[in-house]
Amino acid sequence: MERIVITGMGAITPIGNSIEEYWSNLMAGVSGIGAITHFDASNSPIQIAAEIRNFDPTAYMPRKLAGEMDLFMQYAYAAAEQALSDSQLPIEPGRTGIVMGTALDGLTEIGLVQEALTAHGKRVGPRFLPKVLGNLAAAQVAIAHQITGPTMTVNTACSSGADAIILGAMLLKTGEADSVLVLGGESGINPLMIGSLSKAMALSRRNDDPVGASRPFDRDRDGFVMGEGGGAVVLELESHAKARGAKIYAELAGYANTSDAYHVTAPNPTGEGAAQCMERAIAMSSLSKSEIGYINAHGTSTHAGDIAETNAIKRVFGAPEQTPPVSSTKGATGHLMGAGGITEALTCILAIQYGMLPPTLNLHTPDPECDLDYVPNTPRPCAVKAAMSNAFGFGGQNSSLVLRAWHD
C-alpha cells in the first residue's frame, strides 16, 4: 500500500499565527489564555478563554470575503493558505480534494444574529446562512483555488480535526484524489457556548489565574479552557509528492476511529474505546508499541477525561514505566475543539522534526490516578521516530493518528 505523507502545514493558534510562532511559543512555555474580549463576560462565572490575538484576515483573503465569513471560517481559511503556500502544491483539476473539520460551525454568528433579532429588532440578512454553515469554509477555499475534487466537511465534536485527516487519507487510499488539503477551524468563545459549558461545570473557573487555569493531569484541575483557532495540513500520496519534488515532513503511518458507545458527554472511565482506537492505529502503522516515542494526549484538564485517557494509554502500553512520554498542549492553547485534532497532529510532526517534546503546562501537583510521564512544565529533548496524537469528543468519539519520521 502506498504511503501517505504530509507536505504542508499551517496554524492559527492562541500562542501563534504561524507554524514557526506556534512552535517557538510552545517551547517557551507561553500561555495563550487570558480575559475574554470577544464579548462582555463581566457577569459570567467564566471570564477567561484562549483567544486568537493579532490576527488580520486580510493578510490571507480580500476584505470583502473576510466580511462574509464567521471567525471559524477565517481561521481555517488562513491556516489553509499557509499550508498550501508551504507545500507549493499544484492544484490539479479533479485530483485535489479538501476535507474540513469543525465542531461548532457558525455558533458565534448564530448568537450574534439572534441577539440582534430579539434585543434590537434587527432583520436577518441574506448572508447569515453562508456565514454559519460548516462546509462553507472548505467551499470558500475551493472557490479561491479552483479545487474541483472531493470536498467534504466532518463534524465529530472535539475529534473533528483528526477525523478530517483520516477522511483525507481515505480519499487518497481509495484513489479519489492524489492530494488533499485538510483544514479545521473553530471559534466558540461566545455567550451561548461559555454559558452552556459553565452550567455543565466543564470549564475552569480560575478567572484570577488565567495562565494557570488549564492544567491537564494535575490534581487541582477544575475543567478545560475554551480556545479557538485553525489548522491545516496537505496530504499526498508518496509517489505524487516525490514526482513533484515536494518537501516531506512526515508520514501518516496509521489512524483509527472508534466509539465508546457509552455516554453523550462523559468518557468511558475504563478507557476501553480509546484504547481500542490507539491499538488499531498502531496496528495499521506496522510499528511496534515500543517505537511510539511520544503521545500528544487529548488531555483537556477535566477530572474524568484525564483519568480515562490515562487508563486507556496504560491498557495499550502497560505499566507507567512502559509507556512513552505523554503531554497535553492544551495547558498552553486551551481546547481548540474541532481544530485541535489538526494542530495537535502538527505538534507531533514538529516534535519529530525538532527532537523536542512539548511540555504539559501547570502540572505541579501530580494526580495519583494520572501516573504517567506527562513532561511537566519544561520541554524535553528526545529523538522521536514516531508519535501518536489522540483526539476524543462528545458522543464517545475516539480518533488516533500515528505520525512517523519520513525516510525513503
Q: Residue for cell digits 483520516?
A: 166
Note whether 358 and 329 are within 8 A (CB).
Answer: yes
Question: Do the bridges between strand 292-296 and strand 250-259 make them parallel or antiparallel, or are there none, so unpaired?
Answer: unpaired
Catalytic residue status for 38: no
Please pick, among 38, 240, 303, 335, the residue that the annotation labels catalytic: 335
Q: Residue for cell digits 474580549?
A: 37
Give the C-alpha separation, 68 to 83, whole Å. Answer: 22
Note whether 225 and 334 are within 8 A (CB).
Answer: yes
Note whether 87 and 246 are within 8 A (CB).
Answer: yes
Contacts of 227 (CB under 8 A, 6+ apart): 13, 14, 32, 33, 49, 50, 51, 186, 189, 330, 333, 334, 335, 336, 337, 340
- For 401, half-sphere exposure in the C-beta direction (CA atoms, 13 angstrom radius) is 34
Give the C-alpha separation, 395 to 258, whole Å. Answer: 11
Kindly tell me the burial class for residue 322, based on how many C-beta atoms sit within 10 Å of its own C-beta (0-12, 13-18, 19 or more).
Answer: exposed
In single-letter form, the type of residue at position 8 comes to G
Please pick, among 38, 120, 277, 298, the residue that the annotation labels catalytic: 298
Polymer length in residues for the chain: 408
Catalytic residue status for 303: no
Residues 278, 102, 249, CA angle at the centre, nearest 5°? 55
Catalytic residue status for 382: no
Structure letter (DSSP) for residue 60: T
Question: Do the bridges between strand 292-296 and strand 34-35 make them parallel or antiparallel, or are there none, so unpaired?
Answer: unpaired
Bridge partners (DSSP) of residue 151 are 98
Q: Give the residue among 375, 380, 377 at the shortest CA–CA distance from 356.
A: 380
Please pick, among 158, 277, 348, 370, the residue that the annotation labels catalytic: 158
Whole-number Cα distances in Å, 99 to 77, 160, 165, 263, 329:
12, 10, 8, 27, 24
The Cβ of residue 386 has, within 10 Å, a number of other Cβ atoms equal to 23
Catalytic residues: 158, 298, 335
